């Protein structure tokens, strides 16, 4: 995370950020270690850029509430394993219109199991709870996830929901509006 923060500040694009993280991890990880990641950016109005490095796909929610897994168009290996594959990551451009949302999550969410050993169905949960208020969506997913596992997770889990406000929403002043994706919310589950 520290390498990402430094690289994101210094590098001009996402691929350079990913390359820098890869170099750092190659120096610091053991030969059997790796990190899955999704690195995303918002370079211009109406478009997200995503680099998927071996991670489960984020979930895109369009303004109508339809949920779609963003399967990588150009799959890349997890960070720390590029030297074994020689595969170079590539950017994937996604439309990101007013009202669209992108849910990023850790595997602790999708690998959470109930008493019968069934995995938590995140896409279905998102479809049930999606709203125009990211905090409300995340609260509902968090509550449902904890109910699914009987109240206690056995792995760390995090959810990050980014929403592109509609033009009429962006006109309203917001106390913490750092940019066009100001309606982002995060929930950590423990």
**CA–CA dist 30, 85 (Å, integer):** 16
Give domain limits for the chain. 1-56+71-96, 98-190
**Residue 138 contacts residue 161 (beta carbons within 8 Å):** yes
Give, in degrees to the nearest 5, the angle at Cα 56 between 46 and 21.
Answer: 80
pLDDT tens digits, 41-59: 998 889 999 999 999 999 9
Identify the DSSP state of 149: T
pLDDT tens digits, 79-135: 888 877 777 888 999 999 999 999 999 999 999 999 999 999 999 999 999 999 999
pLDDT at 138: 97
pLDDT at 44: 87
pLDDT at 83: 75
Residue 32 CA to its chain's centroid (Å): 24
pLDDT tier at 170 (50, 70, 90 boundaries)? low
Nearest of 134, 129, 164 to residue 147 by alpha carbon: 129
3 state SS of 137 = helix
Nearest of 120, 131, 156, 142 to residue 186 by alpha carbon: 142
pTM, 2 dp: 0.83
């Amino acid at each position: 995370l520290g390498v990402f923060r430094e690289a994101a500040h210094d590098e001009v694009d996402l691929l350079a950020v990913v390359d820098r993280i890869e170099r750092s991890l190659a120096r610091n990880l053991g030969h059997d270690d790796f990190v899955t990641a999704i690195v995303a950016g918002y370079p211009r109005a109406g478009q997200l850029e995503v680099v998927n490095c071996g991670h489960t796909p984020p979930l895109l929610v369009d303004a109508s509430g339809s949920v779609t897994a963003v399967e990588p168009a150009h799959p890349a290996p997890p960070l720390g394993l590029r030297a074994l594959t020689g595969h170079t990551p590539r950017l994937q451009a996604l439309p990101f219109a007013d009202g669209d949302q992108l849910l990023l999550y850790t595997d602790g969410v999708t690998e959470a199991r109930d008493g019968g050993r069934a995995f938590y169905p995140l896409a279905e949960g998102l479809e049930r709870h999606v709203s125009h208020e990211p905090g409300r969506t995340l609260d509902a997913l968090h509550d449902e996830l904890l109910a699914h596992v009987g109240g206690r997770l056995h792995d760390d889990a995090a959810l990050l929901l980014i929403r592109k406000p509609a033009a009429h929403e962006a006109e309203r002043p917001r106390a913490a509006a750092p940019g066009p994706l100001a309606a982002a919310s995060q929930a950590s589950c423990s």
